[in-house]
Amino acid sequence: MNKHLLLIIGLLILALVNYDIYSKEQLLRDGRTLLLELAPVDPRSLMQGDYMALNYKISQEWQKLRPYNPPDQGYLVLILDEDNIGQLQGLDQGNLLEQNQLRIHYRVRKDRLRIGSNAFFFEEGSAERYSQAAYGELRINEAGDSLLVALRDKDLRLLGETTEDNNPPQTP
C-alpha cells in the first residue's frame, strides 16, 4: 500500500512540474514583449558570481503609491511606448485595457516590489557582457504572468548574444 501511495505522489509531482514547464514554454512562445528599465542596485550585489541582481525602475515609481496602502500582491497597469518599454500607470482597477496597456502581477516582499525575477543568471565568466544592462526583457501573458528572458543595453540591443540578429524588439 505504501508503494502505491508513493507512486501516486511521485506521479502527481511529475505532472505538476511538467505543467509548470509547459506554462513557461507557452509564455515564451506567445507572451507579449515588455521592456522594463533597470534601476541601480547596491553595487556589491550587481554582479555576484554567475548572476546579476536586478531592480526595475518601476519599483521606485511604485513607492509613490505606498501612501495609498496598496495590497501586498495584485496587478499593476503599465503603459507601453513604441519600443515596448513599460511605464507604471497605477494599480489595476479591473478596467478594460487599451492596446498599449498591460497588466503585470506583483508581490511585495520585505517592503520591495517584486515583478518576475529579481536576478539574471548567466554563464560563468561572462559577467562583462551584461555590465551595460539598461533594460530587462520579459514575456508577459494576458493573465499578467511574466518571465525574464534577456537583458538589453541602453540602445535596446540584446546582451549576451553572439549572433548578428541583435535588433531591438518589434512592436506587435
Per-residue pLDDT reduced to its tens digit, 104-155: 999 988 878 888 788 888 777 777 788 888 999 999 998 999 999 999 999 9
With residue 170 as reference, give the H or E element that holds it: none
pLDDT classification of 165: cutoffs 50, 70, 90: very low
> Does 165 fall in a domain?
no
> Does 158 fall in a domain?
no
> Does 163 fall in a domain?
no
> Does 97 fall in a domain?
yes
Give how many domains the chain has, as a whole number: 2
Tell me the C-alpha to C-alpha distance, in Å, between residue 156 and each of 19, 121, 140, 152.
32, 19, 18, 5
> Does 118 fall in a domain?
yes
* Distance in angstroms between the alpha carbons of the first and the last residue of the chain: 54
Q: What is the DSSP letter of 69?
A: -
Structural domain for 94, as ranges:
32-152
Cell output for 81: 511606448
Residues 41, 16 within the same domain: no
- Contact assessment for residue 70 and residue 88, using Cβ atoms and an 8 Å cutoff: no
- pTM of the prediction? 0.77
> Does 108 fall in a domain?
yes
Each residue's pLDDT tens digit, 44-61: 454 556 778 888 999 888
